């Protein structure tokens, strides 16, 4: 895995989003009740079995987030509010689920691909409507998850608080 150099160029939008995620994901955790299992900065052993999670640096985590979440979810093609929200959703729910949530929020077919129709609909959506609907889609996702996996209920308030914090911050973005 390549280590970031201090001059690696990231967009201000990505930097803001990854800072939000890193503040909430924290450092090393190995909670047996967390479906992600062993994690460092929110990067899980389950998703990255080849990575020594305990030795993962913050620069490595940022590089993974940029390559595998920001770019692959299409955040770089979206307005800042939508990109900010989509990135956090991709980290929490996976890229495909996150894009589907965004698509439902803006009223396009939810195929999990951030293509031209999704981008256009996102650009046209009134910001407060986008933030509210996307937040509701995420809350529904968590509610369904807890319905299927009742032991996950212990995380529900934290997840809802994160959605609330994200929405409050997203609405203030230019």
Which of 16, 14, 43 shows the shortest CA–CA distance to 27? 43
In this structure, what are the phi and psi dihedrals at residue 35, rounded to the nearest 5 degrees?
-60, -25
pLDDT, tens digit only, all 174 positions of the chain: 333 445 568 999 999 999 999 999 988 988 887 777 899 999 999 999 999 999 999 999 999 999 999 999 999 999 999 999 999 999 999 999 999 999 999 999 999 999 999 999 999 999 999 999 999 999 999 999 999 999 999 999 999 999 999 999 999 986
Backbone region of residue 18 per phi and psi (left: phi > 0; alpha: psi in -120 to 50; beta: other values): alpha
Tell me the domains of the chain and their CATH numbers: 12-172 (1.20.141.10)
Indicate the pTM of the whole model. Answer: 0.91
Cα 163 to Cα 165: distance, rounded to the nearest angstrom: 6
The answer to whether the beta carbons of residues 36 and 47 sit under 8 Å apart is yes
How far apart, in whole angstroms, are the C-alpha atoms of residue 109 and residue 106? 9
SS3 sequence of the chain: CCCCCCCCCCCHHHHHHHHHHHHHHCCEEECCCCCCCEEECCEECCCCCCCCHHHCCHHHHHHHHHHHHHHHHCHHHCCHHHHHHHHHHHHHHCHHHHHHHHHHHHCCCCCCCCCHHHHHHHHHCCHHHHHHHHHHHHHHHHHHHHHHCHHHHHHHHHHHHHHHHHHHHHHHCC
Taking the C-alpha atoms of residue 39 and residue 28, their distance in angstroms, rounded to an integer, is: 6
* Token pair belonging to 13: 């939008």
Predicted pLDDT at 8 = 65
pLDDT at 37: 83
Structure tokens at 63: 């590089």
């Amino acid at each position: 895995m390549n280590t970031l150099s201090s001059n690696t160029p990231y967009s201000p939008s990505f930097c803001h989003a990854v800072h939000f995620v890193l503040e909430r994901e924290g450092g090393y955790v190995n909670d047996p009740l967390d479906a992600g299992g062993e994690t460092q900065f929110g990067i899980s052993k389950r998703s990255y079995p080849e990575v020594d999670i305990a030795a993962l640096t913050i620069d490595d985590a940022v590089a993974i987030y940029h390559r595998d979440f920001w770019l692959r979810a299409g955040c770089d093609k979206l307005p800042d509010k939508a990109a900010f929200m989509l990135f956090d959703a991709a980290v929490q729910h996976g890229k495909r689920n996150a894009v589907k949530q965004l698509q439902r929020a803006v009223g396009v077919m939810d195929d999990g691909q951030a293509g031209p129709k999704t981008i256009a609909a996102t650009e046209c959506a009134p910001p407060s409507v986008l933030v509210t609907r996307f937040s509701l889609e995420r809350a529904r996702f968590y509610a369904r998850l807890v319905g299927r996996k009742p032991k996950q209920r212990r995380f529900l308030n934290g997840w809802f608080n994160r959605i609330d914090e994200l929405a409050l911050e997203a609405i203030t973005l230019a």
